[in-house]
Amino acid sequence: MPNILIVDDALFMRTTLKKVLTDGGCTVVGEAENGQLAVERYQELKPDVVMMDITMPVMDGITALKEIKRIAPEAKVIMCTALGQEKIVMNALQSGAQDYIVKPFKAEKVIEAVRKASSA
């Protein structure tokens, strides 16, 4: 299973995602609480998949996604979004995100999205 970088400004969400992913057989190689740290950690850790929140301080998820894709066009990024952010999600997909999951998420949807992205 793939190595994952989790990016979310909420510790609760990072902890929840980490449990879902590790229970699903993935390895969480790192965490970041904003987009700027996500870009730095991506370069350090070279994860197979990034799970990234959209709304964060310092640098939002869309900006971080674009920066990661600029550095590594092959990067696999899955956006995590709250309900009602469809326009933002479309922007993320057009900017190179592989997929997205909606919070609150179901564990099986997270694992399915990771499997799909890592085999793409």
pTM for the predicted model, two decimal places: 0.94
The predicted structure's pLDDT at residue 81:
86
Q: Does domain 3-111 have CATH number 3.40.50.300?
A: no
Q: Report the pLDDT value the prediction gives residue 68, as an integer from 0 to 100.
A: 98
So what's the pLDDT on residue 66? 97
Cα atoms in the Cβ-side hemisphere of radius 13 Å centred on 19: 8
Nearest Cα to Cα of residue 14 among 103, 108, 120, 112: 103
Look up residue 62 and give its amino acid.
I
Closest alpha carbon to 6 in 87, 105, 120: 105
Give me the pLDDT at residue 82, please.
83
**pLDDT at position 120:** 78
Exposed e or buried b for every residue in 56-95, given b needs 16+ CB within 10 A? beeebbbbbbbbbeeeeeebbbbbbbeeebeebbebbeeb
**Cα 18–Cα 22–Cα 24 angle in degrees, nearest 5:** 120
- Show the low-confidence residues of the chain (pLDDT under 70): none
